[in-house]
Amino acid sequence: MAEGLAVLIAGTTSDAGKSVITAGLCRAFARAGLKVAPFKAQNMSNNSMVTPDGGEIGRAQALQALACGLEPSVAFNPILLKPGSDQRSQLVIMGRAEGEVGARDYIHHRHDLRGIAAAQLAELRRRFDIVICEGAGSPAEINLRATDVANFGLAQEARMPVYIVGDIDRGGVIAHLFGTHAIVSPEDRGLIQGFVINKFRGDQGLLDPGLIQLEELTGVETKAVIPYLDGIWIDAEDSLQSAVGRVVGPGGAQPLGTQRLTVAAIRLPRVSNATDVEALAAEPGVSVTWVQDVGQVSDADLVIIPGTRATVADLAWLRAQGLDRALMERAAENRPILGLCGGYQMMARSITDAVESTSSSPVAGLGLFHVHITFVQEKTLINHGDGSYEVHHGQVSRHREQTWIEGEGARRQALFGTHRHGYLENDTARRRFLAEVAALAGKPGFVVSQDTSYEGIRLQQLDMIADALEKHWDLDQFLDEVSNPANVASNPDTM
């Protein structure tokens, strides 16, 4: 069987737009009738999901799979690192947790992991016409090059052409691109096929002279200048997208009735699956904002305590901010609170965690539910088949509350808690929940939409990205470049 094409989309920095560009290319080529698959050898993110076959991967790769018309698979993200602190991360290999590693420990794993990643990519190339690979962080981290898994290390292993994406919105994009080209080895430099400018606004005529000089200095052409897309907001890969004060989603959508709902999502230090709040933000008349302010927690119609990779530590942080008192006051006034996974665990009476925290002694929870949580080594990974999934070490050890969702979670008046992520992406479940929240919040003028399709919105977002790439990047030329082996390692070394 002929081997399919493969290409690596790398970035000058984290959050340069690699995930978005990869998703857009996947969508564009899938619409053109190609069999296309996404791939990210190594991902560092606490935004994860559970695949239909019960493995854990990054949310960005699940979105990219949707762009390709595929079910999510561990083959698309064989290595996942989930930070639990500044020093330690959980290592997930082929969808299964393999323990905690520190930065120095991980270096010793990377030689073996590169082999796993390369094998998965080779298998995908046998099955698909083209595999769009997304790099990790920056490929210019020369201190890590010897054991690189996801950038030039993978590209050299698979002899892939590399396109470098730079975010002009950050400033200094030409310097970023030049510096990336300059600092890598001549061998890696030879794989660079082109540069891509992301998030451009303004008159391109003012930018072009700089791009001409950049090509003269590097021998590498800027293949595309992608405009800033105002409406893109779904499935953010990086925690930078859940910054305090950020309004989630399109924002400003007019309510269908006379009132709107305000949602305050508490921005925990180790927030995970921040994407859970996006489905609510897609609804007309619902405003979702990331907050750490007591006043906003007190004033909102609904407060969400999201998931976290460090439940006990983030609970201590929440108390230090005085947010626990604001939540207790809301509960006493029977005003809506939703706890998701780690947030649900915080609402319990006690948490015993010898897995993610440094202490095995029980810690008092917020006490909003008569529930007790005990962490165990084996991680629960469940895909419920309705768009919701569970990924957690904390287990309910004692439970004296009414359950909420099919015998799971807890419900007491205006308090809701569940270990399920993605539950609100189900249109029927979300409408029912919003109707309850509006009633509890005393907002009879809020009208729930009956035709919002969250999956439809996600597909519209993907099409918007693909449309922009097709307009501003010659994708026929792109395929020619990727399919011609002579293009790999053919760029002149002008440095």
Residues recognised as catalytic: 421
Paired tokens of 192: 């660079």
Helix (H, G, I), strand (E, B) or coil at 384: coil
* Angle between helices 18-31 and 454-472 in degrees, nearest 10: 90
Paired tokens of 396: 């309910």
Q: Do residues 426 and 276 make contact, with C-beta atoms less than 8 angstroms apart?
A: no
Among residues 425, 422, 446, which one has the least CA distance to residue 435?
Answer: 446
Q: Do residues 226 and 196 make contact, with C-beta atoms less than 8 angstroms apart?
A: yes
Helix (H, G, I), strand (E, B) or coil at 113: helix
Paired tokens of 375: 């962490």
CB count within 10 Å of CB 13 equals: 17
Paired tokens of 390: 């569970």
**At a CB cut-off of 8 Å and minimum separation 6, what does 51 contact?**
57, 62, 71, 72, 73, 74, 95, 383
State the DSSP H helix or E strand holding residue 469, giving kind and residue range, or none if neither. Answer: helix 454-472
The gap between the terminal CA atoms of the chain, to the nearest Å, is 39
Helices and strands (H and E) in the chain: how many: 15, 26
Rg of the chain over all Cα atoms, to the nearest angstrom: 23
Alpha-carbon gap, residue 207 to 244, rounded angstroms: 32
Question: DSSP strand E in 188-260: where?
Answer: 192-200, 222-227, 247-248
State the DSSP H helix or E strand holding residue 383, giving kind and residue range, or none if neither. Answer: strand 371-383
Alpha helices in 356-426, H assignment, sequence order: none
**At a CB cut-off of 8 Å and minimum separation 6, what does 174 contact?**
166, 210, 211, 214
Alpha-carbon gap, residue 118 to 80, rounded angstroms: 15
Report the amino acid identity of residue 239: S
∠ CA 40-41-46 to the nearest 5 degrees? 70
Alpha-carbon gap, residue 421 to 409, rounded angstroms: 12
DSSP string, 385-452: SSS-EEEEEEEEEEE-SB--BTTBSEEETTEEEESEESGGGSHHHHHHHHHHHHHHTT-TT----SS-
